Structure 1
Amino acid sequence: MSESASPSSAKSSLVFVFLVVLIDMLGFGIIMPVLPKLITSITGDTVSQAAVYAGWLAFAYAAMQFVFGPIVGNLSDRFGRRPVLLGALGGYAIAYVLMGFAASLLWLFAARIIAGIMGASFSTAYAYIADISPAEKRAQNFGLIGAAFGLGFIFGPAIGGILGEYGARLPFFAAGLLAALNLLFGFFLLKESLPPEKRRPFKLARANAFVALKGLSGQNKIVFWYAAALTVWMTAHVVYPIIFAFYAIESFGWSEWTVGMALACVGIGAAIVQGVLIRVLIPRIGERNAVIVGAVSMAASSIFYVIAGPDQGWLIFVAIPIGALQGLFQPSINGLMSNAVSDETQGELQGAVASLQSMASVIGPPLFAAVFAAFTVAGSIHYLPGAPFGLAGIISLIALVIFLRGYALHCTSGEVEPPPNAKTLVN
């Protein structure tokens, strides 16, 4: 643990980092219900065309995270985590206010580009947690990031739907206000976690995902395997925000309210697993076995999506708690990667990982959308709306194979030992 963050301040610092991610997810969730109405009011186009614009807005956001994730991570290794996190909150506030005042699509794209750059601060949030957490608790504390995602996914759309009744632009100003309030909170209470003696010079040549991973692999070659597994995993994971609503409406004729309630259940499951259960399971079974449980749970839950017939929507509510355990996957791998590199390169590591995850967010949506269209379009060879989820389940198992190969190499190198109380799930 960093000396600049005392044990008494570590808890409040964790709370702040949790709030940084929660506010970004709340902001994302708040604007979801009203974004179509805002776009149509600006352009005068149909909802269908508005969806096309929304897709390109999502692409712009993910592309900025891919480019700037390593840059922001490297900057935090040079100047510290605190200024980067505070700057991100200021950027969020500006981005949401810009969207609230947007008079053209250009304004919206500018705002999403800013938000994407600021969203690259997730890498710094992970690095901050690595700084202030003992090695044996990093994976559990990384789970707080997942819990923030889950809570934002629960409350964001609900808040946006309520505020949207009073105007399509009000939710954007609310999201900006949340970011500004957290900026004030952090300015007065957040302590720096990276002491000066552990900082390193910023080198732009290292500030991209592939160069960063090559350099980090020089410390420990296992990082490449873990990063590859995580990238493949994230490609599978984006099936939920991209396809779920379309799938539920196509398969079961669900209303928007039912879709929203189902997604809220997904968020609740993510919050419970990554905010609470992960702290119990990982110390007992170890990171390796937690990754296995996460991948297998996603693959198992995908089966329900594939087999559910038109009158079997209830199967989805069976699949959701099973699939919630997939929340063990990412924090566990993040913990293993964090422990595999030096303290001085935590920001670089998390920046590279954030960039690779953004790349998955660019690849996954068109892939799953194309599969969904191919299996639901009139005249398709086989009508199967759940096909994208089946594909995601297969991809999650591929990610598991990549991880297990890397973990085997890690253990062979003698650099990591399985926890003494961990029970082997697979040979």
Structure 2
Amino acid sequence: MPVILFAVFIDLLGFGIIVPVLPFIVLNFGGDSVSGMALVSIYSLAAFIMGPIWGRFSDKFGRKPALAGTFLGATISYITLGMADTLLLLFLARAMSGAMAGNIGIVMAAMADVTTEENRGKAIGWIGAAFGLGFALGPGIGGILSTIGGNGDPNIFWAGMTAACLSFTAMILTTIFVPETNKKKTENEDHKDVPRWTSVFKQPGQTALLAMFIVTAIGQSISFAITPFWAERVLGWNSAQVGYLLMASGVCVFFIQLFAIGPLFKKFGEVKSLGMALGFHLIGVAIILYGPAEPITAILGFPIIMSGMTLTFPALNSLVSRRTDERLQGTALGISNGLSSLGRIAGPITAGTVFTASVAAPFYIIASTGILVIFWTVWELSARPSHIKAPAE
């Protein structure tokens, strides 16, 4: 698994490079916060459509070809992004990139292939750590790259080309070094006793669990997407400064995913850990809402918000994996990834719209999603039917 995790890190490093640059490119091309949020949402729409398809593909034909295919597609999308000189090309490139975002679901399915149920949450946390480390380093690099050859204005060319090279490297690593982990592939190819994909939804309590992917993704996507616009309007920051802020947040996410998730899940279980983390995340929201318009507010508030929400990724996916037939791991985790993308469609567009009227409004939405998930954790712990396979708590 180290090679897969390294490939994920490289790919997410490329993704992180793009994040702090895009909002400023949108503004340079004549867009505003609404079109900037729409750019985030078009990525998520494509991911919503393609996530389950990539997951089903990996169940039938193997994790390795599916993963290599997503990295190759990401390479092409970043080249298109780097060459973009209009809003239309930006949207096209981001749609292409979103269509390749199924690689996270595929990697989670690969982890499910080679781990026990008891260790699955911790293993998925490793994926989150690779995600967090890539996102920690990426924005800082992206902020620096955006200043090259821009005559004072941020540009996307070098960030896009660098991200393309990283994704291409991830594809090469996957093709040469990653083994096939899907041992059920032969059975799937022979169509022997393979459950229908709809059985993913039939486990009692599964619908409510899957709905939490949408809710948490709304809060997460708003947190990430609104950060550059909030920092530019409230603090007057540029793309490099925003990159450093996101980098600091990514460092926090990395350490939590790597060192805290395993012990938390072992002691409290996924559901209780998630509830506690979302309570912590509400503290960060309160800092942004009620703190002074000073850099210290951003430096404290945003890392706390993102650190609190980072447990949603391993906790929810671990629960879905453990409640799903082993022959449908890619499909189930592709669906969960797709549903998360659905939340990332609604969240940024809504936030961009209300942000034009009030800089505080998006953070009330973020807080609402956290409170809703906390209510779900209370229900899950108190009213979970006895025949649902419960996590070790």
Larger Cα-atom Rg = 1
* 1:390 partnered with 2:374: no
Unaligned runs of 5+ in 2: 150-154
The offset of 1:332, in angstroms, is 1.2
User: In 2 relative to 1, CA 157–202 (structure 1 residues): closer, same or farther, beyond 3 Å?
Assistant: farther
The offset of 1:193, in angstroms, is 0.7
Give the partner amino acid of 1:161: G
Deviation larger for 162-171 or 137-146: 162-171
1:17-63 residue CA offsets vs partner (Å, 9 max, x unmatched)? 323433332222223455467678xxxxx554276655444332211
CA distance in 2, matches of 1:104, 1:249: 22
Match of 2:182 among 194, 198, 213: 194
Match of 1:91 among 73, 80, 104: 73
Give the partner amino acid of 1:17: I
User: In 2 relative to 1, CA 128–199 (structure 1 residues): closer, same or farther, beyond 3 Å?
Assistant: farther
1:85-131 residue CA offsets vs partner (Å, 9 max, x unmatched)? 01111111222223334466555444333211111222111111111
Match of 1:260 among 220, 233, 243: 243
Corresponding residue for 2:169? 181
Corresponding residue for 2:125? 143
2:20/2:239 contact within 8 Å kept: no
- 1:14-29 to structure 2, matched below 5 A, reads 15-29=2-16
CA distance in 2, matches of 1:38, 1:417: 45
1:306/1:387 contact within 8 Å kept: no
Number of equivalenced pairs: 383
User: In 2 relative to 1, CA 152–417 (structure 1 residues): closer, same or farther, beyond 3 Å?
Assistant: closer
User: In 2 relative to 1, CA 69–412 (structure 1 residues): closer, same or farther, beyond 3 Å?
Assistant: same
Q: TM-score, normalised by structure 1?
A: 0.80
CA distance in 2, matches of 1:38, 1:393: 29
* 1:401 partnered with 2:375: yes
Corresponding residue for 2:108? 126
Give the partner amino acid of 2:267: R
Give the partner amino acid of 1:232: V
2:293 counterpart SS class: coil
1:292-341 residue CA offsets vs partner (Å, 9 max, x unmatched)? 11211112221111111335x42443435543233223211211111111
2:55/2:106 contact within 8 Å kept: yes
* 1:238 partnered with 2:221: yes
The offset of 1:254, in angstroms, is 4.6
Q: Name the Cα RMSD after superposition.
A: 2.8
Q: Name the % identity.
A: 27
User: In 2 relative to 1, CA 39–80 (structure 1 residues): closer, same or farther, beyond 3 Å?
Assistant: same
1:292/1:329 contact within 8 Å kept: no
1:278-302 residue CA offsets vs partner (Å, 9 max, x unmatched)? 1222212221221111211112221
* 1:81 partnered with 2:63: yes
1:120/1:351 contact within 8 Å kept: yes
Q: TM-score, normalised by structure 2?
A: 0.87
